[in-house]
Amino acid sequence: MIDGFIALYIFMLAAFTGYEIISRVPVILHTPLMSGSNFVHGIVLVGAMVALFQAQNTLEQVIGFVGVILAAGNAVGGYVVTERMLEMFKSSKKPQPGGTH
Amino acid sequence: MDIFTPKLWVQTAYILAAFLFIMGLKRMSSPASARGGILWAGVGMVIATLATFLIPLTAMDATTLHTNLTLVVVAITLGSALAWWSGKRVAMTDMPQMIALYNGMGGGAAAAIAAVELYGAHERSLASSVLAVLGALIGAVSFSGSAIAFGKLQGLISKSFRFQGQQVLNLIILVSAVAVGVGIATLGLGTNVVTLFFALALILGVSMTVPIGGADMPVVISLYNALTGLAVAFEGFVLQNPAMIIAGMVVGSAGTLLTQLMAKAMNRSLANVLFAGFGESAQSSNTEVTGSQKPIEASDAGVMMAFAQKVIVVPGYGLAVAQAQHKVWEMAQLLQNRGVTVKFAIHPVAGRMPGHMNVLLAEAGVPYDLIADLEEINAEFETSDVALIIGANDVVNPVARTDKGSPIYGMPILNADQAHNVIVIKRGQGQGFSGIENALFYLDNTRMLYGDAQSAVNQLIQSIKSME
């Protein structure tokens, strides 16, 4: 059970983490990073799935169904556009040390 | 093996996903590792989503579960297919509005989760009710606000609606939404009130966003991105889902910082973006621009650059609109073959979003080391023979340094006026985004090359080629 102060601690530590990890981001990555963080909150998909799993009546099923469509769109769309943008950050001169291929 | 319950697997998957999200974002904030970063985060998302299918195995009402499971699969397939299709075919220049669109969908999903919770008679603690309502408000505002932002950038909504007392009206809507929300959270008010609450929240998102001009949209989209993160975190608390809490909160704070950085790069405060229309707060300009704009033929401009030692290209919004990035790189390569040093100077807000121009140049194949940002390049203009301005305007307007009455006063600009010669490619004699006269265009060492960026650069290429 995540409740009371435990929840506050998690909120606080996660907020500091978010602030720290991007505090030194160069301007050229602002748009891709915005898009990347947009993808990360696509995790709302798991919540929408749970909400729809638990739906008891037609109204809840309809709202949950729309919610899952929207959330899946957020996650998949966010991934595709971020991937496409970052794909362009290949340098012709030096191979990327952090590359994945 | 009782210890390996579905619940344990789900929790393990969630903590793994949270770790991958944070590492992914960390890697995305550095150019060298950015491409790997999105992959890490992507793996996290797949793990979390698959694990969530195990939740029905734990303890759930079986009567509607079968239908619901089918609905989940259909909805995921539908949403993913639409987003995949649209995300793959959108042009690079239209990326900002796609981000707005997908972000709004996330906000809508968070609001939907809250709606299922609030419409249904679920048992909740007070903290849980409060956060459900708060997440619903933020998510719904982000949903409708992002939709308006998308409409504006896509050109579906071209006007900024402003009227007297608009801020007061917005405040009234906000206060009533909060009041209704408090009623729902504390008194457990029923269905009709919940509907009213969502209606107010959606209207607030629209009325907050319509007065904001197109030039400020990137900051607004970034803000809504951060807000969606917060909404996701709050609904994560309601559902007792740690992956949502952590990922949402990380995005909430990272997005807030990013919003501030963007606003700073544009020399705007966040409050200024949200509560004042661009240009409205400025007094009338007190410098008169004297002289005239002197045109130049593409052939002459080509000769000028071909025999230069150093050329600095300043690309702007006009280049993005004309999709001329490939042509510009072709031209730069021709110059390089003649021994000319070519560099690209990128203003923080060139293009449609901070960093957007870098993405466009990278798409055309321009290597990193030729692209310089404002601090790196500004001292070099003095020693360059030609500054070629392509569809940029306000970011090279020297008025920003001198004229206190100008709305762009104080904005850091590229010192293109210090180059020995300045060639400006521009569609016509009109003004920039801000509607301010550009003193650079009237300088003695400035020549205007009128035309669409794509065709003008094409003519320059022909001119340079003809000298070989």
Apex B154 CA angle, B448 and B257, nearest 5: 90
**Is B89 an interface residue toward A (CB < 8 Å)?**
no
CB contact under 8 A, B38 and A33: no
- Helices B166-187 & B126-153, crossing angle to 10 degrees? 150
The two tokens of residue B257 are 């910082």
Question: CA–CA separation, B203 vs B183, rounded Å?
Answer: 19
Burial of B270 (0-12, 13-18, 19+ CB in 10 A): middle
Contact partners, residue B455, CB within 8 Å, separation at least 6: none
Burial of B273 (0-12, 13-18, 19+ CB in 10 A): buried
Residues of B in contact with A49 (CB under 8 A): 49, 52-53, 55, 72, 76
Q: Which of A7, A77, A97 sits opposite B32 (nearest CB)?
A: A97
CB contact under 8 A, A41 and B353: no
CB contact under 8 A, A25 and B29: yes
Q: Among A62, A37, A90, which Cα is nearest to B25's?
A: A37
Check residue B312 and report its DSSP letter. Answer: E
A25-34, A67-76, B34-43, B214-223, range with greatest mean pLDDT: A67-76
In the structure, what pLDDT confidence band is assigned to residue B287 with cuts at 50, 70 and 90?
A: low
Residues in chain B: 468
Residue B391 main-chain phi, psi, to 5 deg = 65, 20
Q: What is the mean pLDDT of residues B250-276?
A: 83
Do the beta carbons of residue B316 and residue B287 sit within 8 Å?
Answer: no
**Residues linked to residue B448 through DSSP beta bridges, in sequence order:** B295, B424
Residue B296 main-chain phi, psi, to 5 deg = -140, 150
Q: Which amino acid is at B104?
A: G
> Percent of chain A at pLDDT above 70?
86
Do the beta carbons of residue A49 and residue B72 sit within 8 Å?
Answer: yes
* Bigger pLDDT: B356 vs B150: B150
* pLDDT tens digits for range B117-168: 998 877 788 888 999 999 999 999 999 999 999 998 888 877 777 777 788 8
CB contact under 8 A, A18 and B257: yes
The two tokens of residue B228 are 């969606």
**Is A18 an interface residue toward B (CB < 8 Å)?**
yes
Q: What is the mean pLDDT of residues B247-275?
A: 85
**Is A66 an interface residue toward B (CB < 8 Å)?**
yes
Could you give the dihedral angle defined by the CA atoms of residues B312, B316, B322 and B325, in that order, rounded to the nearest 10 degrees? Answer: 40
Catalytic residue selected from B94, B394, B403, B444: B394
Apex B323 CA angle, B320 and B326, nearest 5: 110
Do the beta carbons of residue A68 and residue A45 sit within 8 Å?
Answer: yes
* pLDDT tens digits for range B205-256: 999 998 887 777 888 999 999 999 999 999 999 999 999 999 999 999 999 9
pLDDT at B430: 64
Q: What is the mean pLDDT of residues B372-386?
A: 90
HEC secondary structure over B132-170: HHHHHHHHHHHHHHHHHHHHHHCCCCCCCCCCCCHHHHH
| Tokens 């995300």, located at residue | B87
β-strand pairing of B371-373 with B421-426: unpaired
Query: Closest residue of B to A95, CA-based?
Result: B32
Check residue A57 and report its DSSP letter. Answer: S
pLDDT at A93: 40
Question: CA–CA separation, B359 vs A87, rounded Å?
Answer: 9
Measured between CA atoms, how close is B48 to chain A, in angstroms?
Answer: 7
Residue A24, CA atoms < 13 Å, CB-side half-sphere: 4
* Bigger pLDDT: B430 vs B371: B371
pLDDT at B292: 80
Q: Among B264, B255, B289, which Cα is nearest to B406's?
A: B289
Residue A60, pLDDT above cutoff 60: yes
* pLDDT tens digits for range B2-44: 667 888 899 999 999 999 999 999 999 887 788 899 999 999 9
Q: What stretches of B295-362 adopt beta strand conformation (E)? A: 310-315, 341-346
- Helices B325-337 & B356-364, crossing angle to 10 degrees? 60
The two tokens of residue A56 are 């008891």
pLDDT at B393: 83
Q: Tell me how crowded residue B283 is: count the other CB atoms within 10 A of its CB.
A: 9
The two tokens of residue B106 are 């996330």
Lowest-pLDDT choice from A7-11, B315-319, B420-424, B430-434: B430-434
> H-helix or E-strand containing B184?
helix B166-187
Q: Tell me how crowded residue B188 is: count the other CB atoms within 10 A of its CB.
A: 12
Q: Which amino acid is at B418?
A: Q
**Is B315 an interface residue toward A (CB < 8 Å)?**
no
| Tokens 């094409």, located at residue | B458
Classified as helix, coil or strand, B181 is: helix
**Is B50 an interface residue toward A (CB < 8 Å)?**
no
Q: What is the mean pLDDT of residues B315-338?
A: 89
* Bigger pLDDT: B100 vs A91: B100
Q: Which of B34, B99, B245 sits opposite A14 (nearest CB)?
A: B245
- Please give the mean pLDDT across all residues of chain B: 86
Q: Among A87, A21, A2, which Cα is nearest to B21's?
A: A21
Q: What is the mean pLDDT of residues A11-21?
A: 93
Q: What is the mean pLDDT of residues B338-365?
A: 84
Residues of B in contact with A95 (CB under 8 A): none
Residue B336, pLDDT above cutoff 90: yes
**Residues linked to residue B343 through DSSP beta bridges, in sequence order:** B312
pLDDT at B410: 74
- For chain B, positions 235-274, list CB contacts with chain A under 8 A: 235-237, 239-258, 261-262, 265
Residue A98, pLDDT above cutoff 70: no
Residue A96, pLDDT above cutoff 70: no
Residue B291 main-chain phi, psi, to 5 deg = 90, -170
Residue B188 main-chain phi, psi, to 5 deg = 65, 45
**Residues linked to residue B424 through DSSP beta bridges, in sequence order:** B389, B448
Active site annotation includes B394: yes
Q: Which amino acid is at A5?
A: F
| Tokens 């669409």, located at residue | B452
CB contact under 8 A, B72 and A52: yes
> H-helix or E-strand containing B402?
helix B399-402
Q: Among B250, B86, B64, B224, which Cα is nearest to A16's?
A: B250
Question: CA–CA separation, A4 vs A9, rounded Å?
Answer: 9
